[in-house]
Amino acid sequence: MTSNRRNFIQSSVIGTAGLGLSIASTTEVNASNLPRAAEPEITVDVDVLVVGGGTAGTIAAIQAGRAGASVLLVERNSQLGGTMTTGGVAFPGLFDAWGKQVIAGIGWELVKECVALDEGQLPNFAKVPQRHWHNQVYINQFLYAILAEEKCADAGVSIAYYEFPAAVIQIDGGWQVDCVGFGTRRRVRCKQIIDCTGGAEVVGLLGLPRLREDERQPGSFLFMLGEAHEPGRNQIHRLYVHGADSTNSRTATEANLTGRKTILNKVRQSGKRLMHLQPETGFRESYRIQGETLITVHDYTSGRVFDDAICYAFYPVDLHTKTGVKPQPLKPGTVPTIPLRALVPKGSRNLMVAGRCVSSDRLANSGLRVQASCMGMGQATGVAAALAAQRGTTPLEVPLGDIHDLLRSHGAIIPSDA
Ligand SMILES: Cc1cc2nc3c(=O)[nH]c(=O)nc-3n(C[C@H](O)[C@H](O)[C@H](O)COP(=O)(O)OP(=O)(O)OC[C@H]3O[C@@H](n4cnc5c(N)ncnc54)[C@H](O)[C@@H]3O)c2cc1C
């Protein structure tokens, strides 16, 4: 290849349909006629932008779509499900407490369908288990990711993989969000944003206050040595990655390199075959938001029913440390609740979060962060965002009764109904 030829990109244009002819031509593209790099290539207008298609975000997007909103779901990875699928934590819990179901709705619908299609088994929620984790549901992570895509498509949700927001500014009636991906620049104009990135990254981009501990809980790399991993059936091995931090690409890279290196050592030492390895570390903790209210561990362990509760949560206080975890079960009959105001960054409008970044102190968060509660938060924010977009208000101005009614009609369980 001559250096001259290397200096330009060739693009072939084939077909002039009107004439019924097929003509191939070669167009020279050089720096002077490339599209201007500063201009977004794609511009979209939607009611609701959901950032992060993980545990909470998938459910938020489906719910907002089902409620009639136009929705774009931006996910920086290649599939939906987040920690449940890419992280491999494919045992969502807890949908039940003290012998009855307390979280249902769209997350439960997806989990149930996934188990049925995989011919798996659901726990019997009428029975109070001896150990809390007995009632987690084993799901096939691969199937879950595909089913989630199908549900999004059915709800009219557009998905943009490999993209993330690089800049967010407030505009009249909502937001302008510039997203980047490889080969893609997308300008999104939306009325409402739901930040479901795990670590509240959009909230961070906006410079709104977030909370973070100096020392975070370890993350875990999920893998299998020696025996095959049967998705949706068996326990998978977990390796603590101490210091794992999903704050940015550099800290996440470090966690992945550290985890994989340790697993390679295990393979060498054990002489066993590596049968399964998730593509990235599962992160337990990074940023939480400082919301319009903050759930304390006392609120959590006393089962406080907030005035604006939108779903239940149920799990022991479950703080992982360097030496492991000693779950602190809740007292019999206690079922914590999550208020809408804990999903709204303090002082913000037209912005909510759902998932593990819920406004809470560290110990409350160690219980709130589990998947069924993340799904419950996701569904509630999907409803609140869709109603706010329709009415041209901010979510906290939507009457709570309207949010509850719509949630009920989509199968969710509302604490004040109990
Ligand atoms: C090892 C481990 C074990 C656990 N065990 C259990 C358990 O037994 N039972 C249980 O129920 N829960 C368990 N949890 C907790 C639970 O899995 C997580 O807290 C929960 O899944 C978090 O959900 P989320 O929606 O907040 O975040 P995630 O599910 O992590 O989703 C966040 C999504 O956002 C995407 N994203 C991030 N930043 C951006 C960006 N800037 N732009 C676009 N996309 C972005 C990510 O790629 C991801 O898909 C465990 C967690 C870990 C790590």
Give CA–CA dist 289/212, Å, rounded: 9
CA distances to 259, 357, 362 from 216, rounded to whole Å, are 16, 13, 10
Strand-pairing partners, residue 181, are: 163, 184
Mean pLDDT of 5-11: 33
Q: Is 139 helix (H, G, I), strand (E, B) or coil?
A: coil
Which ligand 1 atom is nearest residue 82's CA? 49
Q: What is the pLDDT of residue 1?
A: 34
In a domain, 282, yes or no: no
Answer for the pair 41, 185: CB distance below 8 angstroms, yes or no.
Answer: yes
**Residue 205 shares a structural domain with residue 245:** no
With the most atoms of ligand 1 within 8 angstroms of its CB, the residue from 79, 89, 163, 179 to mutate is: 89
Q: What is the pLDDT of residue 168?
A: 98
**Residue 48 shares a structural domain with residue 179:** yes
More confident residue, 321 or 32: 321
**Residue 120 shares a structural domain with residue 137:** yes
127 pLDDT above the threshold of 60? yes
**Residue 13 shares a structural domain with residue 91:** no
Give the other-Cβ count within 10 Å of 311's Cβ: 27
Q: Which two tokens stand for residue 160?
A: 């943009």
Tens digit of pLDDT for each residue in 287-303? Answer: 999 999 999 999 999 99
314 pLDDT above the threshold of 90? yes
Mean pLDDT of 351-380: 98
Output DSSP code: residue 41. Answer: S
Range with the lowest mean pLDDT among 10-24, 40-54, 184-198? Answer: 10-24
**Residue 267 shares a structural domain with residue 363:** no
Give the other-Cβ count within 10 Å of 21's Cβ: 8
In a domain, 183, yes or no: yes
More confident residue, 17 or 267: 267
- Residues in contact with ligand 1 (CB, 6 Å cut-off): 51-57, 74-77, 82-84, 87, 89, 91-93, 136, 164, 196-198, 201, 219-220, 238, 282-284, 355-356, 369-371, 374
19 pLDDT above the threshold of 80? no
Distance in Å, CA 4 to ligand 1 centroid: 49
**Residue 312 shares a structural domain with residue 410:** yes
In a domain, 338, yes or no: yes
Range with the lowest mean pLDDT among 29-38, 50-59, 115-124, 137-146? Answer: 29-38
In a domain, 252, yes or no: yes
More confident residue, 139 or 29: 139
pLDDT tier at 383, thresholds 50, 70, 90: very high
Positive or negative, the Cα torsion across 376, 193, 72, 90?
Answer: negative
User: Which one, of 1, 27, 90, lies nearest residue 278 by Cα?
Assistant: 90
Q: What is the pLDDT of residue 416?
A: 84
Nearest CA to ligand 1 atom 35: 52
Answer for the pair 59, 382: CB distance below 8 angstroms, yes or no.
Answer: yes
More confident residue, 22 or 136: 136
**Residue 65 shares a structural domain with residue 208:** yes
In a domain, 286, yes or no: no
Which ligand 1 atom is nearest residue 284's CA? 53
In a domain, 36, yes or no: no
Which ligand 1 atom is nearest residue 56's CA? 25
Number of separate domains in the chain: 3
Mean pLDDT of 125-139: 94
Which ligand 1 atom is nearest residue 93's CA? 11
Give CA–CA dist 281/249, Å, rounded: 12
Q: Which amino acid, one-letter code, is at 272?
A: K
Output DSSP code: residue 291. Answer: B
134 pLDDT above the threshold of 80? yes
Range with the lowest mean pLDDT among 38-52, 163-177, 266-280? Answer: 38-52
pLDDT tier at 222, thresholds 50, 70, 90: very high
Average pLDDT value over all residues in the chain? 92
Nearest CA to ligand 1 atom 39: 197
Residue 156 belongs to domain spanning: 43-212+291-319+326-417
Q: Which amino acid, one-letter code, is at 42?
A: I
Q: Which amino acid, one-letter code, is at 325?
A: V
**Residue 149 shares a structural domain with residue 75:** yes
Answer for the pair 65, 72: CB distance below 8 angstroms, yes or no.
Answer: no
**Residue 203 shares a structural domain with residue 228:** no
85 pLDDT above the threshold of 90? yes
Q: Which two tokens stand for residue 37?
A: 């790099």
Q: What is the CATH number of the domain that holds 296?
A: 3.50.50.60
Range with the lowest mean pLDDT among 35-39, 174-178, 185-189, 266-270? Answer: 35-39
Give the other-Cβ count within 10 Å of 235's Cβ: 11
Answer for the pair 342, 290: CB distance below 8 angstroms, yes or no.
Answer: no
Give the largest CA-CA distance in the chain: 77
User: Crossing angle for the helix pair 105-117 and 55-66, nearest 10 degrees?
Assistant: 110
**Residue 168 shares a structural domain with residue 228:** no
347 pLDDT above the threshold of 60? yes
Q: What is the pLDDT of residue 372?
A: 98
What is the b/e burial string over 204-229, where b = at least 16 CB atoms within 10 angstroms of the residue's CB?
Answer: bbbebebbeeeebbbbbbbbbbeeeb
Distance in Å, CA 23 to ligand 1 centroid: 50
Q: Using omega within 30 degrees of 0 as the cis cutoff, is the peptide bond preceding 94 cis? A: yes
More confident residue, 2 or 25: 25
Quote the Cα angle for 396-156-52, to 5°.
60
Nearest CA to ligand 1 atom 22: 356
More confident residue, 109 or 15: 109
Pairing of strands 274-277, 309-312: unpaired
**Residue 225 shares a structural domain with residue 313:** no
Distance in Å, CA 75 to ligand 1 centroid: 12
In a domain, 144, yes or no: yes
Nearest CA to ligand 1 atom 53: 282
Give the other-Cβ count within 10 Å of 279's Cβ: 13
Q: What is the pLDDT of residue 7?
A: 34
Q: Which amino acid, one-letter code, is at 249?
A: S
14 pLDDT above the threshold of 50? no
Output DSSP code: residue 143. Answer: H
DSSP per-residue codes, 309-375: EEEE----B--EETTEE--BPPPTT---EEEGGGGSBTT-SSEEE-STT-SB-HHHHHHHTSHHHHH
29 pLDDT above the threshold of 70? no
**Residue 120 shares a structural domain with residue 236:** no
Nearest CA to ligand 1 atom 49: 82
Tens digit of pLDDT for each residue in 231-251? Answer: 999 889 999 999 999 999 999
Residues with Cβ within 8 Å of 50's Cβ and at least 6 positions away in sequence, in order, are: 57, 60, 61, 64, 71, 72, 73, 74, 157, 193, 194, 196, 382
In a domain, 22, yes or no: yes
Q: What is the pLDDT of residue 2?
A: 34
Tens digit of pLDDT for each residue in 393-408? Answer: 999 999 999 999 999 9
pLDDT tier at 22, thresholds 50, 70, 90: very low
Q: What is the pLDDT of residue 38?
A: 58
pLDDT tier at 129, thresholds 50, 70, 90: very high
